Amino acid sequence: MSSLFTYTLRIADSSLILGQRMSEWCSKSPTLEEDIAMSNISLDMFGQANGFYQYAAQLDGLKSADELAFRRNEREFFNHQLVEQENGNFGNSIVRNFLHDTFNFLFYTQLANSKDETLSALAIKSLKEVKYHLRHSSNWLVRLGDGTEESNAKTQVALNELWMYTDEIFEMDALDTELFNEGIAVDNSALKSDWDTMVNNTLEKAKLTRPEDEYMATGGKKGLHTEYLGFILSEMQYLQRAYPNAKW
């Protein structure tokens, strides 16, 4: 497996898993407009994942994009642990998405300058969509945080619970560093200060308190996950596992 293949797969995995989580809101969102919004964002995430999987499949030459998505096990997925966290109440999902959308916005802005033409093109494309996603989750965060006493309290709890997953998104392992030195990958750690500024500004508007960094989770890049990923995969991959190569 080449480093570029693994790097591409990591990006695809985070998009796919967040897309799958968002799709769980379909028909269950608080209002019709929100149902449409969540489903639309989910589709964007699947589309972005597809672009990166297609590229990974082309680099690898062994597995198709569908095989990469539907025939790998939990330990072979490299998504951020943040995106696999449960939807919970609407506030939990909004906080999770806001934290990740802010990262995605900064990440794709940098990946757009990648020397790898395909990664750069996919980043420019994804960025256009991520701007909408970030606006959506930021607006909701302010509405919930600066809403009623109850919505503020629930959103603050969500933020406190999810905070431990916000450290690993900035990690750089040997593979990241190798590709960053070649001008291909993004220096994730360099995104942290802009992420802090953006997150702090929105939290302030939302009248929410930024949690302290305590125990911070890690492992997504190594294929280590929280208990939720297995459940996501067992549902998402069921059809292709039970009826291999089934087509619409």
Partner 1 sequence: MQSGNTKFIWELLNTVPDPEIPVISVVELGVIREVKFEDNSYTISITPTYSGCPAVKTFMDDIKSCLLENSIENFELKIVYAPAWTTEWMTDETKEKLRKYGIAPPSNIVICPQCNSKNTTLISEFGATACKSLFKCVDCLEPFEFFKCI
Binding site for partner 1 (CB under 8 A): 19, 33-34, 36-37, 40-48, 50-51, 117-118, 120-122, 124-126, 128-129, 132, 135-136
Question: Do 68 and 39 meet the contact criterion of CB atoms below 8 Å apart?
Answer: no
Backbone angles phi, psi at 53, to 5 degrees: -65, -40
Q: How far is the CB of 123 from partner 1 (least distance, A)?
A: 9
Nearer to partner 1, 59 or 124 (CB): 124
Q: How far is the CB of 45 from partner 1 (least distance, A)?
A: 7
Q: How far is the CB of 142 from partner 1 (least distance, A)?
A: 15
Nearer to partner 1, 7 or 46 (CB): 46
Q: Which amino acid is at 225?
A: H
CB burial readout 57-81, b (16+ within 10 A) else e: bebbeeebbebbbbebebeebbbbb
Q: Which long-range contacts (CB under 8 A, 24 or more apart) does 25-32 make?
A: 25/87, 25/93, 29/90, 30/90
Q: How far is the CB of 196 from partner 1 (least distance, A)?
A: 26
Q: How many C-beta atoms lie closer than 10 Å to residue 22's C-beta?
A: 25
Q: How far is the CB of 138 from partner 1 (least distance, A)?
A: 12
Give the up-direction half-sphere exposure of residue 117: CA atoms within 13 A in the CB hemisphere: 0
Single out the residue of 178, 162, 35, 193 nearest to residue 86, CA to CA.
162
Q: Which amino acid is at 202?
A: T
Nearer to partner 1, 13 or 168 (CB): 13
Nearer to partner 1, 103 or 165 (CB): 103
Q: Please give the C-alpha separations between residue 239 and each of 15, 17, 22, 137, 154, in angstroms, as whole numbers.
A: 20, 17, 19, 31, 36
Q: How far is the CB of 99 from partner 1 (least distance, A)?
A: 20
